[in-house]
C-alpha cells in the first residue's frame, strides 16, 4: 500500500487544482442551480408582483399642509421609501449609483402655490421636481404616481362642498382610494395549457439539473489529478527505480488507479450531498424523488467520474506536459458541457451540435439522468431504467476505451525510451 499512500500525498501536494477546479467552479455551478431553483419556486405564482421601486422624498417646504407626508404614504403603497440628505452631492451619488430609482423634491412654497391652484386663483400648476435613475423602469412608473397623486387630490378637492373644501381632507381621500385599489387590483397569471408542459415535480427537475452541472468541474479536476498521479510515477527516474523493485507493474498501476477512484468516489458523494443541501436551502420540496432515483443518479455520476479518471490515465500514460493537459481538460470539458444538453435546451440546439454531443460522454450522462426521472430527452417516454442502463454502459465504454489506449500507448512509451526521454548526450571525440 506504499504506492497508494504516495499517490495520496501527490494529490495533497496539488491542493490548488482542487480549490480552483473543484471549489471555485463547483460553487459557480451551484450558484447557477440556486438561481434556477429559486426561479422555479417563484415561477408558479397566481398573481403578478411588479418590481418595487426605491423612492426618496426630499421636503424643502417644511411639510406644509402635510403634503410631503401624504406623498410619502402614497408612494409607499407600491415602493420602498428611503431617506436621503438634502444635499446636492448626496442626491447625485444616490442616482448615479442606482441607490434610488426616483427622487421626488417638494420645492419651497409648493403648498401655498398648490392651494392657489386648487382654489382657481392661479392657472399655473406647481410641480414636484423628480429625478429618475436612467436604468430604472420602476422609477419611471413611480414618477407617474407622483403626478397621479396630485391629480387625485385635485379631483377630491373639487368634489367637496364649497365651504368644506380642505386640501388635507382631499389628500386623505386620495390616499384611502389608493389603498382600497391596492387590495383589489391584482393581475392574475393564467397558465396556458401546452403540449410541451413538463409535469415533472420541482424536486426531480432541481435534483437532476444540479447533478448535471457537475459535468464540467468533474471533467476538469479528475483528469488533471489523475494525470498528476500517473505522470509522477511515469517520470523517467522514478520509473527506473520502480522497475528495479520486486513489485509488479500491474500492482503499481492498480494502486494508482485505486487512489484516483477513491478520490472520485468522495467527490461524487460530496457533490450529491451538496445538491440535497442546496435543495433544502432553496426550499424545494422533496416529493418527486426517491431513494431509487438518487441511487441511480449517483451511479451515473460515478460512472462519469470513472470515465474522467480513465481520461486522465490516458493523458498521464502518453506523457503530455502539465500545461497541455490543463488546456485539453478545459477544452474537452467545455465541449462536453455545451453539447450535452445541460447548458442549453436540446430543442434549441442545432442538429450538428447534437450529433457532436452524442459522440461525447457528457451527452450520455445527461440522457441517463433524464431516463431516471423521465424528463428532458426522456419526457416523451417517461422513466426507463433500460435506457438508463444503456446510457451508463456507453459512459463506461468511454472509460474502457481510454484505459485501453492508455495501456497501449504507455507500453509503446516504455519499450521505446527515445519517445519518452531526450537522447543521451555523447562526448565528441
Report pLDDT for 185: 55
Report pLDDT for 41: 57
Look at residue 427 and tell me if it is in a domain.
no
Q: Express as a percent the part of the chain with pLDDT over 70.
A: 83
- Domain limit, last residue, from 122, 157, 184: 184
Q: Could you give the CA distance from residue 125 to residue 348 in angstroms, rounded to a whole number?
A: 55
Domain membership of residue 410 as a residue range: 2-43+200-420
Q: Facing residues of 79 across strands?
A: 53
Report pLDDT for 395: 95
**pLDDT above 60 for 193:** no
DSSP result, 10-41: HHHHTHHHIIIIIIIHHHHHHHHHHHHHHHHH
User: Which of the two residues, 80 and 201, has the higher pLDDT score?
Assistant: 80
Q: Which of 165, 131, 128, 166 is nearest to 150 (CA)?
A: 128
Q: For residues 67 and 32, state if they share a domain.
A: no
The whole-chain average pLDDT of the chain stands at 82
What mean pLDDT do residues 410-422 have?
Answer: 63
Q: Could you give the CA distance from residue 331 to residue 315 in angstroms, rounded to a whole number?
A: 14
What mean pLDDT do residues 241-266 have?
Answer: 74
Report pLDDT for 367: 94
For 193, phi then psi, to 5°, come to: -70, 145
Number of structural domains, the chain? 2
Q: Could you give the CA distance from residue 87 to residue 109 in angstroms, rounded to a whole number?
A: 19
Q: For residues 98 and 245, state if they share a domain.
A: no
**pLDDT above 60 for 410:** yes
What mean pLDDT do residues 399-407 have?
Answer: 91
Q: For residues 156 and 217, state if they share a domain.
A: no
Report pLDDT for 316: 84
Q: For residues 180 and 274, state if they share a domain.
A: no
Q: Which of 110, 98, 102, 95 is nearest to 72 (CA)?
A: 102
**pLDDT above 90 for 361:** yes
Element (H, E) at 117: helix 110-119
Q: For residues 30 and 60, state if they share a domain.
A: no
Q: Which of 70, 69, 95, 71 is nearest to 84 (CA)?
A: 95
Q: Express as a percent the part of the chain with pLDDT over 90.
A: 21
- Domain limit, last residue, from 153, 184, 215: 184
Q: For residues 18 and 103, state if they share a domain.
A: no
Q: For residues 253 and 392, state if they share a domain.
A: yes
Q: For residues 301 and 339, state if they share a domain.
A: yes
Q: How far lies 133's CA from each of 11, 33, 71, 73, 308, in Å? A: 52, 31, 19, 21, 50
Q: For residues 412 and 374, state if they share a domain.
A: yes
Q: For residues 227 and 255, state if they share a domain.
A: yes
What mean pLDDT do residues 380-407 have?
Answer: 92
Look at residue 426 and tell me if it is in a domain.
no
CATH code for position 70: 3.40.1710
Q: For residues 76 and 12, state if they share a domain.
A: no
Q: For residues 323 and 352, state if they share a domain.
A: yes
Look at residue 296 and tell me if it is in a domain.
yes
Look at residue 389 and tell me if it is in a domain.
yes
Amino acid at each position: 500500500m506504499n504506492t497508494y499512500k504516495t499517490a495520496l500525498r501527490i494529490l495533497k501536494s496539488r491542493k490548488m487544482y482542487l480549490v480552483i477546479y473543484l471549489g471555485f467552479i463547483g460553487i459557480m455551478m451551484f450558484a447557477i442551480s440556486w438561481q434556477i431553483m429559486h426561479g422555479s419556486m417563484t415561477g408558479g405564482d397566481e398573481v403578478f408582483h411588479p418590481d418595487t421601486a426605491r423612492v426618496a422624498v426630499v421636503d424643502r417646504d417644511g411639510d406644509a399642509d402635510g403634503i410631503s407626508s401624504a406623498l410619502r404614504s402614497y408612494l409607499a403603497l407600491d415602493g420602498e421609501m428611503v431617506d436621503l440628505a438634502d444635499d446636492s452631492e448626496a442626491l447625485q451619488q444616490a442616482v448615479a449609483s442606482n441607490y434610488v430609482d426616483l427622487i421626488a423634491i417638494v420645492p419651497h412654497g409648493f403648498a401655498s402655490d398648490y392651494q392657489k391652484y386648487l382654489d382657481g386663483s392661479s392657472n399655473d400648476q406647481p410641480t414636484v421636481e423628480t429625478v429618475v435613475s436612467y436604468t430604472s423602469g420602476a422609477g419611471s412608473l413611480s414618477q407617474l404616481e407622483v403626478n397621479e397623486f396630485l391629480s387625485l387630490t385635485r379631483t377630491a378637492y373639487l368634489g367637496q362642498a364649497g365651504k368644506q373644501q380642505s386640501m388635507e381632507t382631499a389628500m386623505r381621500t386620495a390616499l384611502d382610494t389608493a389603498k382600497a385599489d391596492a387590495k383589489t387590483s391584482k393581475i392574475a397569471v393564467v397558465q396556458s395549457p401546452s403540449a410541451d408542459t413538463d409535469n415533472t415535480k420541482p424536486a426531480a427537475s432541481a435534483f437532476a439539473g444540479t447533478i448535471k452541472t457537475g459535468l464540467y468541474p468533474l471533467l476538469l479536476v479528475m483528469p488533471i489529478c489523475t494525470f498528476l498521479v500517473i505522470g509522477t510515477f511515469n517520470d523517467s527516474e522514478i520509473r527506473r527505480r520502480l522497475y528495479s523493485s520486486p513489485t509488479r507493474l500491474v500492482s503499481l498501476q492498480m494502486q494508482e488507479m485505486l487512489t484516483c477512484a477513491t478520490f472520485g468516489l468522495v467527490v461524487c458523494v460530496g457533490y450529491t450531498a451538496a445538491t440535497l443541501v442546496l435543495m433544502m436551502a432553496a426550499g424545494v420540496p422533496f416529493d418527486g424523488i426517491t431513494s431509487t432515483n438518487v441511487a441511480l443518479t449517483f451511479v451515473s455520476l460515478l460512472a462519469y467520474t470513472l470515465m474522467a479518471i480513465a481520461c486522465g490515465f490516458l493523458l498521464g500514460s502518453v506523457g503530455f506536459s502539465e500545461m497541455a493537459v490543463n488546456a485539453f481538460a478545459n477544452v474537452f470539458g467545455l465541449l462536453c458541457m455545451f453539447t450535452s444538453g445541460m447548458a442549453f435546451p436540446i430543442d434549441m440546439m442545432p442538429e450538428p451540435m447534437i450529433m457532436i454531443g452524442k459522440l461525447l460522454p457528457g451527452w450520455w450522462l445527461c440522457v441517463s439522468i433524464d431516463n431516471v426521472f423521465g424528463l428532458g430527452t426522456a419526457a416523451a417516454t417517461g422513466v426507463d431504467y433500460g435506457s438508463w442502463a444503456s446510457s451508463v454502459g456507453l459512459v463506461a465504454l468511454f472509460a474502457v476505451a481510454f484505459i485501453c489506449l492508455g495501456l497501449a500507448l504507455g507500453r509503446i512509451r516504455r519499450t521505446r525510451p527515445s519517445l519518452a526521454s531526450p537522447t543521451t548526450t555523447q562526448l565528441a571525440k
